Structure formats: structure tokens, C-alpha cells
Amino acid sequence: MGAIRPVGASSEGVRKSMQANKSRDTKPELALRRAVHSLGLRYRVSLRPLPAIRRTADLVFTRAKVAVFLDGCFWHGCPQHHTKARTNADYWAEKVVRNRERDAETDQVLDDAGWQVIRVWEHEDPIQAATKIAEIVRSRR
């Protein structure tokens, strides 16, 4: 497989859209954090579970060694909601493949280090996801 080089925005509208994508504090992330907090759990936000590895989890329960990643449907290739990009389709398809490979590698590295990884899709109900997270965190304390 050849090297993938970043491609600039194909138009001014695309550039503005890309700049508007937030890396944290998205609406789904805030909803999940509120739901988890309402269940009495406290967590760290946007933290590297293993400082030596450049992977940041959205919610981290350090004592229980639980890392929660809230994955976006487009960026992580949700089987239900992922849509193909209309411009630079090959680049974005490969980007999603690389993201999924990185996600699997992250899960394995954290698992090997004794961490429990929880992945939540952005479209999942935050209350249900929070309940699942709470059960896992409490079982590991």
C-alpha cells in the first residue's frame, strides 16, 4: 500500500466544515458525560490512559482502569450510519480504515496493560451507554 498524503480541502466550504469539527466537547460527548455524572461517577476528560502512548480517551476512570472512547459514525466507520465522502472519496475511505486499525491497536495495547476499553458510537443513547459504563466501572473497583 502506498503512502497516503493529506489532501487539502477541495473547496472553501469544505475547509470551513473541517475547521468546525471539534476534537472534544462535542454534543454527543457532553450528553454522555452528563449521563455518567448523573449516575454518581467521576472521571477524567480527554486523558491518555497510558501516558507513553499518544491515544486519548474521552472518559477515563483511573482507579478502575476503564477508558471510554466515543466514536463518531463518519470518522470510525459506523456500520449503521457511515456515509462515503463525495469529494476525495479514496482519501477519506482510507482514513476511516486507518482509524479503525488504530482503534483496534489501541484496544489491544490498553487490554494488555490491564485496562477495560469501552467504545460508544455517537448515535447510541447516552443514558443506556452511561448505565453500561457504570456497571463496568463499579465491577472493577
Return the pLDDT at 85: 82
Among the listed residues 59, 62, 43, the one whose alpha carbon sits nearest the alpha carbon of residue 113: 62
Instruction: Tell me the HSE value of 66 on the side-chain side, using a 13 A CA sphere.
Output: 20
Whether residue 51 has pLDDT greater than 90: yes
Whether residue 9 has pLDDT greater than 80: no
Return the pLDDT at 74: 83
Whether residue 11 has pLDDT greater than 70: no
User: pTM for this one?
Assistant: 0.83
**Would you state the cell numbers that stand for residue 139, as one nine-digit string?**
465491577
Return the pLDDT at 79: 86
Among the listed residues 40, 32, 20, 6, the one whose alpha carbon sits nearest the alpha carbon of residue 127: 32
Q: Which domains does the chain have, with CATH numbers?
A: 23-139 (3.40.960.10)
The dihedrals phi and psi of 35, each to the nearest 5 degrees, come to: -65, -40
pLDDT tens-digit map of 78-117 = 988 877 887 888 998 999 999 999 999 999 999 999 999 9
Residue corresponding to grid cell 475547509: 15
Per-residue burial over 14-41, b = 16 or more CB atoms within 10 Å of its CB, e = otherwise: eeeeeeeeeeeeeebbebbbebbeeeeb
The dihedrals phi and psi of 13, each to the nearest 5 degrees, come to: -65, -40
Return the pLDDT at 10: 61
Most confident listed range (64-78, 80-94, 119-133): 119-133
Whether residue 60 has pLDDT greater than 60: yes
Return the pLDDT at 92: 87
- The answer to whether 47 touches 56, Cβ cutoff 8 Å, is yes
**Would you state the cell numbers that stand for residue 99, as one nine-digit string?**
482509524
Q: In the predicted model, what is the mean pLDDT of the chain?
A: 88
pLDDT tens-digit map of 29-40 = 999 999 999 999
Whether residue 18 has pLDDT greater than 90: no
